[in-house]
């Protein structure tokens, strides 16, 4: 698809992958609107990229999605590309009885329910454009779960499944449906990652990741799996138990000692 002259909404575009996408898409001659929750990140993004349009918004709240849809349709009627990028990732020890409901399922609201709700609400608008797209940012962990981040992995597998169904349902419309499944990428999301857990994982630069994403979109590659994401997808077909055991190794750090049977 053509990546110039578009009007593009990127959720969670004030940091990491979303911010780099915004930068490169502005350079290619698009109008770019980004969202995020934090005032300071919004201000920093605007300072870095003065042409950027910014909207404070929490994609994890259904009522805020309604506000976002209304604002975007009113202020940016030319909008023709939605990039569902906002995401959070946490480690969760399911043995921890003190976890609150929000700690347990908070990732679902941002990573899965947000993209589902926003895509659904914008389909009527996007269908009216001669060329339009929805891009869902999942993860290599959509193909093989990382058990130390069980809910995050479930949200990304869910987003992969939803994206495939969405693509099938929109096949007779002007809306192309892409999935970008990044591998481990050097952004603030990974800043707190445990050093031992990252052993053997090659971390991609955010610039290389975004170059691969844009090249994929330009060539109508509908499931874009840069670097180790592609390996995870194929390893899950060839040797599923082996690759799952590899990704389960990090659990040794948090699990209680095994009880003898
Ligand atoms: N980095 C990786 O290794 C990696 C690998 C695979 C997939 N991904 C996926 O790539 C996407 C971008 O991640 P990143 O690495 O660029 O992370 P990041 O640097 O932490 O950026 C996340 C962005 O999302 C925003 N955000 C978080 N929760 C939000 C919410 N409820 N509503 C609106 N905005 C929200 C953040 O701003 P505020 O905090 O101000 O809201 C920020 O702008 C995520 O979906 C992530 O799961 C990343």
Closest of 92, 111, 89 to residue 101, by C-alpha: 92
Is 2 domain-assigned?
A: no
Average the pLDDT over 227-240 and give the result: 97
Is 260 domain-assigned?
A: no
What are the residues whose beta carbons fall under 8 Å from the beta carbon of 136, sequence distance 6 or more?
Answer: 84, 115, 119, 159, 162, 163, 166, 177, 178, 179, 180
Is 1 domain-assigned?
A: no
Write down the pLDDT at residue 191: 87
Is 240 domain-assigned?
A: yes
Give the span between the Cα atoms of 211 and 205, in whole angstroms: 10
Q: Is the CB of 226 inside a 6 Å radius of any atom of ligand 1?
A: no
CA–centroid distance, residue 12 to ligand 1 (Å): 6
Reading the block at residue 74, the tokens are 């009113």
Banded model confidence at residue 252, pLDDT cuts 50, 70, 90: confident
Average the pLDDT over 230-256 and give the result: 93
Tell which atom from ligand 1 comes closest to the C-alpha of 38. Answer: 40
Write down the pLDDT at residue 261: 66
Give the count of domains, the chain.
1
Structural domain including 82 reads 7-253
Active site residue 222: no
Please give the model's pTM, rounded to 2 decimal places: 0.97
Reported as a single tens digit per residue, the pLDDT across 78-131 is 999 999 999 999 999 999 999 999 999 999 999 999 999 999 999 999 999 999
The CATH number assigned to the domain holding 81 equals 3.40.50.720
Tell which atom from ligand 1 comes closest to the C-alpha of 86. Answer: 24
Reported as a single tens digit per residue, the pLDDT across 162-180 is 999 999 999 999 999 999 9
CA–centroid distance, residue 111 to ligand 1 (Å): 9
Give the span between the Cα atoms of 188 and 104, in whole angstroms: 21
Reported as a single tens digit per residue, the pLDDT across 174-217 is 999 999 999 999 999 998 888 878 888 889 999 999 999 999 99
Q: Is the CB of 137 inside a 6 Å radius of any atom of ligand 1?
A: yes
CA–centroid distance, residue 137 to ligand 1 (Å): 9
| Tokens 């609107």 sit on residue | 33
């Amino acid at each position: 698809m053509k990546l110039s002259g578009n009007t593009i909404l990127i959720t969670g575009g004030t940091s990491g992958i979303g911010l780099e996408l915004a930068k490169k898409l502005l350079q290619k001659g698009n109008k770019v609107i980004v969202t995020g929750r934090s005032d300071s990140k919004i201000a920093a993004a605007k300072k870095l990229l003065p042409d950027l349009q910014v909207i404070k918004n929490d994609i994890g709240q259904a009522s805020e999605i309604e506000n976002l849809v209304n604002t975007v349709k009113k202020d940016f009627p030319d909008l023709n590309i939605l990039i569902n990028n906002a995401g959070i990732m946490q480690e969760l020890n399911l043995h921890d009885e003190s976890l609150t409901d929000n700690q347990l399922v908070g990732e679902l609201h941002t990573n899965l329910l947000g993209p589902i709700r926003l895509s659904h609400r914008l389909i009527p608008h996007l269908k009216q454009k001669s060329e339009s797209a929805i891009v869902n940012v999942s993860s290599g962990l959509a193909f093989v779960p990382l058990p130390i981040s069980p809910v995050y992995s479930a949200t990304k597998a869910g987003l992969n499944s939803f994206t495939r169904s969405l693509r099938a349902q929109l096949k007779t419309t002007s809306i192309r449906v892409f999935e970008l499944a990044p591998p481990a990428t050097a952004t603030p999301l990974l800043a707190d990652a445990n050093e031992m857990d990252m052993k053997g994982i090659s971390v991609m630069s955010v610039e290389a990741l975004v170059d691969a994403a844009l090249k994929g979109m330009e060539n109508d590659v509908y499931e874009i799996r840069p670097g180790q994401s592609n390996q995870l997808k194929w390893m899950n077909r060839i040797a599923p138990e082996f690759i799952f055991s590899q990704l389960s190794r990090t659990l040794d750090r948090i699990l209680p000692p095994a009880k003898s049977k």
